[in-house]
Amino acid sequence: MDAYCPPDTPLDILHQDHELLVVNKPSGLLSVPGRGEHLADCLISRIQAVFPEALLVHRLDRDTSGVMVFAMTPHAQRHLGLQFEKRQVKKVYIARVYGEVEGGEGTVDLPLIVDWPNRPRQHVDHENGKPAVTDWKVAKRGDNETRMRLFPQTGRSHQLRVHMLELGHPILGDPFYATGPALDAPRLMLHAESLRLRHPDGGRGMTFKAKCPF
């Protein structure tokens, strides 16, 4: 992996109330600190510098951008955590993948497990892997790439990245799974476009969106 040079961008707050903080995470910034002082700069530490009470609920990969929700109270953290655990949170991602995908939509249902000698890479393992399911739809094709919307039903590490690779169409700019010309992109072309959840105070359904930067 290349050296860690997180973007020096101000917090992009999409929504804030007494229970929730929703932000648009930039690509290239860790969600939580990595091991070692050089990996200390991350989204949660930047947020806690402004909102000391903010608590982690879920995470996005370093190179993925988009909607991320934080809890502002322990109650909200438990409430949201259960929604993620029970797969009640609806997530939509945009990806640009290498090559032209056949068909208009489909589902990848392949169990994943960490590839220990090569961690944090993940790989498909039908015996020991945890269930991982991704629905996909083609948005547009052209110039040896396809723009897709991805709807993960589970939240495994690197799920969308491995599932697209297994389709034969790695996500453009993916430092772990793309090779050759598929690597020729300024960043990982994966963005968490929207997140739908129930508000911890009253249970009202809310959808948060972050415009795709690519």
Q: Which two tokens stand for residue 143?
A: 């110039």
**Banded model confidence at residue 3, pLDDT cuts 50, 70, 90:** confident
CB-CB contact of 190 with 170 (8 Å): no
Distance CA 40, CA 80 (A): 25
Query: What letter does residue 56 receive in the DSSP assignment?
Result: E
Separation between Cα atoms, residue 89 and residue 33, nearest integer Å:
24
List, for residues 118-167, the tens digit of each pLDDT value. Answer: 999 999 999 999 999 999 999 999 999 999 999 999 999 999 999 999 99
Find out whether 209 and 149 touch, Cβ atoms under 8 Å.
Answer: no
Which pair of structure tokens corresponds to residue 110? 């392949």
Average pLDDT, the chain: 97
Output the CA–CA distances (angstroms, integers) from residue 34 to 62, 68, 71, 210, in the order listed.
Answer: 10, 18, 21, 25
Count, residues in the chain = 214
Catalytic machinery residues? 61
pLDDT tens profile 175-187 = 999 999 999 999 9
Q: Strands 133-142 and 105-109: what pairing? A: antiparallel
Residue 75 confidence (pLDDT): 98
Q: How far is CA 197 from CA 1, 15, 66, 119, in A?
A: 34, 13, 15, 31
Name the H helices within the chain: 43-50, 74-85, 159-167
pLDDT tens readout for residues 13-43: 999 999 999 999 999 999 999 999 999 999 9
Q: Are 113 and 123 in contact (CB under 8 A)?
A: yes
Q: Label residue 1 by pLDDT band (50, 70, 90).
A: low
Nearby residues of 81 by Cβ (< 8 Å), 6 or more positions away:
57
**What percent of the chain has a predicted confidence (pLDDT) above 90?**
99
Q: What is the pTM of this model?
A: 0.96
